[in-house]
Amino acid sequence: MADRCPDILGTASIATRQDDLANKVNAETRREIFTSLTSDDSACRPPHVCLEIDEPASASVGIHFDVDSITGFPSDLAVAKEGVRWHPTQMPISDLQSNLHLDSRKVSYFDEAGRLHKVRRPVHQIPHYTFGRLVGFEDISLYFLFPHLYRETQQSSRLRDEDFRIWIDDILLPIIYEHYSSSHVQHYPSSFDHSRYNATARGVELRGQRINAVSREQQLVYFLPPESLPQVWQSTLVAVQQPGFRQFRDVTILLQAKNLKKGTVNETYVTSDFYFDIATEICPTKASRVASSVPRPSPRPEGEDGKEDTGADLWTTLLWKRCCLESRRSWMQQGPARDPSRKEVFYPFCILQDTGSLTVESSPRSRPRAAGILFTQDYPTGIKEPFAAGKVYPFMNKAIETLALDKSLQRTWELVGGGLSHNPTALIKSYLYTKLRYHFALQGSLKKSSGIRSEHRISGELFHALDAQFRARRRHDQPITFIPGREAPFYSFRTTDMLLGGCWQDVRFQPDPRQLDGLRRVEGLGFRRTMEEFGYAWFLDKIDWNTLTFRQPHAAHMMFNNPSIQAAYHARYGQVRDVRLDFIRMDKARQWIIEFSGVPACLDFLEKYLRQLYLCAFRKDVFRHIKSVLDPEKAEAALAGKVPLYYASIKKALKEKYRPPKLAHGNRLGVKSMDVLFS
């Protein structure tokens, strides 16, 4: 297929009209790529992809175990046995953004009538701030949770400035100054305002040209030695019980650690309410290689025949079997059948039906939860690494899709929407940069092997029981290697196949009172249907592969829209939507003109249709510019282009105080003659 398709990712520029990409891949080839259908297919059915037959697990794999993270509620700040790097200011945006699969905790608040309410909320919705990070391992964070600062109407779990000022000035700083010597506190800020101004000093004082509306904050840190942390915490617990500070009572420490090193945590202060993330990773034993540009002889694989392999089958990628994930899900949800607290998400992978990723959170009344298992997730590991740069994934910038829109449509939308939706120069740079990054990533990853991973958040009690079993069987320090058969819970793909391979609804009806039958038909490309039927998300054959537009009768019902445009023009989206529909009608008329070019009567009718379409668009523009003076009862029809531009009809569309309309004239007017409408 590579010799039939031009290389788009490897080019450092956007294709131009002179590149003639449309003619480098003919319509028949496009149809075959996306639907697998050819003109020779008498049955017009795509092939079925059966991974059980096509991709059996065969390569030798190794199993590795690790502790990925720890989450829990320490009883004391002394849990940081090497000290804390303390933050005296709040982060602008908290890095605690999920419930960590922990049980919700009790909070209390008063409503507008003064009534006290006690409810449960996930940890990330409880007012909190990041106290600091553990010295020796910066991936371990300590958070302070304040359950009595919760507000029913809060938009953020960040502490309000007035609450944080009291916390710093009246509670925390006096306690720190009390328990640490002058040699330490001489380096610390002396108040809430002192720390706040220190944090913004670099963003304000060093500026000479541009002023930002919001000053950039520098996250300053200060070292709190470990020897006085127990006294600091005990004094804090006493202080929050005093009058004036009781809104801070029941303050709780949350510890969240990724990639934990055990030596950084003092286990004396680890409570029973601690959870470990343990993981099992299965990966091919074949070592990965750098895809060097220098030709090298292929390594000789181990085998009885001793023949040298070409190397194509050496590097493999593993993916979970869907049937095994379904079995895991059933086991995790043992308990009441209708438990509403069940949480599970399945993600199809590589648009294949029989593989994917699964995350399951055990319900509070299930047997796994009683045994100490909070949640489990199974997913492929290395296959996403060539495409991930931190948290940035392929073509993640949703605004890039506007580059594919007709330029005249973009300009009209900008006029109607009241501004520029996106900067084209920035989008082009983003698009080209993204293309090249993934081009280099794909080229360099063809000789890599990648595996699958299963993670489980379990209680400390279960963790120690498992550790004891491993040690009793003397497997805690021994690698496990085996050659799987068909009973293995995963498929084995060649890495080259995985990297070079790569609207769910077909038809559905939505309520719409404007339709005669009360329903509006909408269509998609039917990925869900084709995945279930053929094992792979083939496109349904709804596209004209010559013009790359949706063909009839599907075009009228396709769920066409542009989310980034909607977001950019949210306030005026009604007008933007109407303009989009006008362009769709114009393009459809263009297709009809081509289709019926040999029928004069049809061409005459289409000419009249386009004339009316243009006049309607012009009427919309006129009334949109005088929207503020329109009669509310006539405004909807006028803005829809349904009111003709006659003197009498315009007069009726205006508010009473603006009647009758007046004609302006003069040498300074931009429009001096009606002829400009036809230039």
* Token pair in block for residue 45: 């059915």
Lowest mean pLDDT among 211-220, 509-518, 662-671: 211-220
User: Sorting pLDDT into bands at 50, 70 and 90, what band is 212?
Assistant: low
Q: What is the pLDDT of residues 15-61, one digit of tens each?
A: 777 888 777 888 888 888 888 887 776 557 777 777 777 777 666 78
CB neighbour burial string for 482-511, b if at least 16 within 10 angstroms, e if fewer: eebeeebbbbbbbbbebbeeeeeebeeeee
Q: For residue 631, what pLDDT is reported?
A: 92
pLDDT at 67 over 60: yes
Rounded distance, CA 504 to CA 500, Å? 22
Instruction: Please report where in the chains the tokens 């603006």 appear, as a residue.
Output: 658
pLDDT at 498 over 90: no
Rounded distance, CA 576 to CA 570, Å? 9
Q: What is the pLDDT of residues 106-151, one digit of tens each?
A: 999 998 888 999 999 999 999 999 999 998 877 889 999 999 999 9
Q: For residue 425, what pLDDT is reported?
A: 80
| Proportion of the chain above pLDDT 70, given as a percent | 78
* Token pair in block for residue 637: 């029809």
pLDDT at 559 over 50: yes
pLDDT at 481 over 90: no
**Distance of CA 86 to CAs 133, 196, 640, Å?**
7, 14, 60
Q: For residue 232, what pLDDT is reported?
A: 95
Q: Which amino acid is at 227?
A: E
Q: What is the pLDDT of residues 564-614, one digit of tens each?
A: 555 555 555 566 666 667 777 777 888 788 888 889 999 999 999 999 988
Mean pLDDT of the chain: 79
**Distance of CA 314 to CAs 51, 63, 114, 284, 443, Å?**
19, 18, 69, 10, 16
Lowest mean pLDDT among 58-62, 357-361, 463-467, 531-535: 58-62
Higher pLDDT, 38 or 73: 73
Number of continuous H segments (helices) and E segments (strands) in the chain: 20, 20
Q: CA 363 from chain center: how many Å?
A: 25
Q: For residue 240, what pLDDT is reported?
A: 95
- Residue 561, number of CB atoms within 10 A of its CB: 9
Instruction: Please answer whether residues 62 and 282 qualify as being in contact, where contact means their C-beta atoms are separated by less than 8 angstroms.
Output: yes
pLDDT at 73 over 50: yes
Q: For residue 369, what pLDDT is reported?
A: 86
Higher pLDDT, 8 or 602: 602
Q: What is the pLDDT of residues 185-210, one digit of tens each?
A: 888 988 998 888 888 877 766 655 55
Instruction: Please answer whether residues 105 and 251 qualify as being in contact, where contact means their C-beta atoms are separated by less than 8 angstroms.
Output: no
**Distance of CA 642 to CAs 158, 581, 626, 646, Å?**
50, 15, 15, 12
* Token pair in block for residue 24: 């480098």
Q: For residue 293, what pLDDT is reported?
A: 46
Q: For residue 255, what pLDDT is reported?
A: 92
pLDDT at 279 over 90: no
Rounded distance, CA 671 to CA 662, Å? 15
Rounded distance, CA 37 to CA 15, Å? 27
The average pLDDT across 286-314 equals: 51
- Residue 118, number of CB atoms within 10 A of its CB: 9
Rounded distance, CA 298 to CA 306, Å? 13
Q: For residue 299, what pLDDT is reported?
A: 46
| Proportion of the chain above pLDDT 90, given as a percent | 20
Q: Which amino acid is at 510?
A: Q
User: Sorting pLDDT into bands at 50, 70 and 90, what band is 401?
Assistant: confident
Q: Which amino acid is at 113?
A: A
Instruction: Please answer whether residues 456 and 375 qualify as being in contact, where contact means their C-beta atoms are separated by less than 8 angstroms.
Output: yes
Q: What is the pLDDT of residues 356-390, one digit of tens each?
A: 899 998 888 888 888 889 889 998 887 777 777 76
Show Cβ contacts of residue 553 under 8 Å, excluding neighbours closer than 6 positions: none
* DSSP calls for 375-412: EEEEEE-GGGTTT-BTTB-TT--GGGGGGGS-HHHHHH
pLDDT at 427 over 70: yes
User: Sorting pLDDT into bands at 50, 70 and 90, what band is 505?
Assistant: low
Q: For residue 340, what pLDDT is reported?
A: 65
